[in-house]
A and B are shown apart, each in its own frame.
Chain A
Amino acid sequence: MADRTQLTIRIILRSILPLFKTLYNENEGFYKKMLGGVDGTIQFSVKGTDSGAYLDFKDGKLDIVQGIVEKPGIHFAFKKPEDLVAFFTGGVALPSISGLWRLRLLMKLIPLFLGLLLLMPNKQPRDTATRLLKVKLTMYMITNALSQLNKGGDEDMAAWTSKQPDRIYQLSVQPDGPAAYLRVKGGKSKSGHGVYGRKAPFMHMMFNGLDGAYKVLAENKETVQAMRDGDVKLEGSPEYAGSMGSFMVRIQNMLMPAK
């Protein structure tokens, strides 16, 4: 059975940390101004393990790289896996931070780091642009986390994907809003941004504009009620949508355990 903490770390490092890149690119003007000319790496890791990922700033671009970099500019090192999970899921766990001599850089990064808080359920922005960003981040996170759940060896998810031919599970905000998909094929999975163009979706969750998407993805309305109210429309197999919903709840419980 896959280790739950390791799975959670995998999802954090591979599904949540990459959202920094989306945040950075979405507000490129602001962040480039703030971080212009900054070249360096910011490592997150668990001490004594190879679990880690780092932000790599270079030539005004940001990449998220999995693994451990030698001599990072700033290093957030967590004593144990549970601490990394707690840090990213709203718990109390402070890492040891080396490279504090680059305090100025760290201060500059704070707006970017705080940007991720947008994902928290209690963050309910009022302006359209920020709501749209929250919807986009959530979609990217969900589809990627589902893929990571599979790749990380969750038995139920692996069993679910293994029986399926090439299928696309699409989420999209209608008519032309953000979109993300999960592709599944014989046990393999892949998440992607936008609308998958090579094949029609096996299941398509279509949100009725930003308002419809925000109600569901910001957890302001139950999906079933949202479907009744026309905020979301499902095309395709309801059974498979149900299974996918269960896996999404599983991920949510890993990231936001009941207090």
Chain B
Amino acid sequence: MAEGMTWSVLDGDKLTQAEIYGKVLTQLGEKNDKIIAMTADLAKSTKIGAFGDKFPERFINMGIAENSLFGVAAGLAMVGYTPVVSTFAVFAALRSAEQVRTDICYQNLDVKIIATHAGISFGQAGSTHHCTEDIAVMRSFANMTVIVPADGIETGNAVVAAMDHAGPVYIRIGRGFEPPVNTTKDYGFQIGKAVTMKDGKDVTVITCGVCVGQAMRAAKVLESQGLSVRVINMHTVKPIDREVILKAVVETRRIITVEEHNVMGGLGSAVGEVIVEGGKACAFKKLGVPDAFAIVGYPEDLYNYYKFDADGIIEAVGALMKKEIEEDENWDDET
């Protein structure tokens, strides 16, 4: 059995990503009576039910009708409310893609989407409930902001920041069993500004979501092997922090992206676009779910299977370090 499942039980009193957003949203609801919480029969699973318990008059359960969920949210936003919609990522990003795109993004409406059980965090539920395409879909919608928090604390920060941000925001979280990587909320979270978790000169790991913790564990091992590893938490995939990426290209010239998403169209693609447009060469590797539907299993086992857990990152860094990135292999001293 994967350790992650045990962890979630033993540390049940610690707040998970979903629990934190439920609490934060409830607190925000006390100050802002324009917030309307909405879901499609997933109040308990997504934890948005906490808001409904406190403010039942501002809580809407649409039933199993995701398309209507987002359509109604758009309507509420048009008359001045701030709907916060929560459902599984696979329903928000895929089943309701048209409503999110046309009803919400096209009109640049103030709807906040908190999509849970993203990636392969719903491992045992199978491919129908995995969502390894949502970052690709959501970041392709004009006006949409896409945030992938690393842990509960960052999720709380993301929810607060999203409320202050005009326009649609997609916050992508897992099932709620993600180990914490932050110990304080005051680290300067800002939409569009990546967090450098650790500086390094040899290679940069750019990651988001649950993979941030994996990258930090990998970096620790790699440091003990003499490598200097930079770890960047790219919590906002759109708009992406171009500056921090281009700086890493110039300074380390080796970049690995790690994400719990299909390697096509997600964080790795977004980072790759910035690198190509930047015009400076580097060695580059994307880690994530390959171009396939993920197999079924515990999330931690799947991270290992697809080699984007700490062990996979260590292996990939080793391979990337051996890649030649300079044409100039003249080792004569300059005199």
Give the interface of A toward B (CB within 8 A).
14-15, 18, 21, 64, 144, 147-148, 163-167, 188-193, 198-202, 236-237
Contact = CB atoms under 8 A, between A and B. Distances in A.
Contact of B250 (A144, A147, A167, A200): A200
Interface of B: 201-203, 226-228, 250-253, 321, 325-326, 330-335
A189 B330 CA distance: 10
Nearest to B317: A165
A64 B335 CA distance: 8
Contact of A202 (B201, B250, B331): B201
21 contacts: A14-B333, A14-B335, A15-B333, A18-B335, A144-B333, A144-B334, A147-B333, A165-B227, A166-B202, A166-B253, A167-B201, A189-B331, A190-B334, A191-B333, A193-B334, A199-B250, A200-B201, A200-B252, A202-B201, A236-B201, A237-B228
B333 A190 contact: yes
A97 B201 CA distance: 51
A198 B253 contact: yes
A21 B333 CA distance: 14
Given A14-B335, A192-B334, A163 B251 contact: no
Contacts of A165: 202-203, 227, 321
- In the A-B complex, the 4 residue pairs with the smallest Cβ-Cβ separation, listed nearest first, are A18-B335, A200-B251, A192-B334, A191-B333
Looking at B253, B325, B332, B335, which has the most chain A CB atoms within 10 Å of its CB? B335
A64 B321 CA distance: 35
Most chain A CB within a 10 A radius of its CB, from B252, B325, B326, B333: B333
Contacts of B226: 163-164
B227 A21 contact: no
A167 B321 CA distance: 11
Nearest to A200: B251
Contact of A199 (B251, B321, B332, B335): B251
Which of B202, B228, B250, B334 has the most chain A CB within a 10 Å cutoff? B334
A14 B333 CA distance: 9
A83 to B, nearest CB: 24
A188 B86 CA distance: 55
Contacts of B335: 14, 18, 21, 64, 144
A132 to B, nearest CB: 19
Contacts of B332: 190
Nearest to A180: B334
A76 to B, nearest CB: 19
A187 to B, nearest CB: 10
Counting chain B CB atoms within 10 Å of each CB, the highest count among A164, A166, A201 belongs to A166
Contact of B326 (A15, A147, A148, A198): A198
Contact of B331 (A190, A198, A200, A237): A190
Nearest to B226: A163
Most chain B CB within a 10 A radius of its CB, from A165, A190, A198 = A165
Nearest to B321: A165
Contacts of A18: 335
A147 B250 CA distance: 24
Contacts of B326: 166, 198
B40 to A, nearest CB: 49
Contacts of A237: 201, 228
- Give the most central of A18, A144, A200: most B CB within 10 Å: A200
A193 B202 CA distance: 22
B323 to A, nearest CB: 10
A202 B202 contact: yes
A64 B334 CA distance: 11
A27 B160 CA distance: 64
B249 to A, nearest CB: 10
A190 B253 CA distance: 18
A243 B331 CA distance: 22
A144 B228 CA distance: 25
Given A144-B334, A167-B202, A191-B334, 20 more contacts: A14-B335, A64-B335, A165-B203, A165-B227, A166-B253, A166-B325, A166-B326, A189-B331, A190-B330, A190-B332, A190-B333, A190-B334, A198-B253, A199-B251, A199-B252, A200-B251, A201-B201, A202-B202, A202-B228, A237-B201
A51 B331 CA distance: 21
Nearest to A147: B333
Contacts of B253: 166, 198-199
A15 B335 CA distance: 8
Contacts of B321: 165
A144 B334 CA distance: 8
Contacts of B334: 144, 190-193
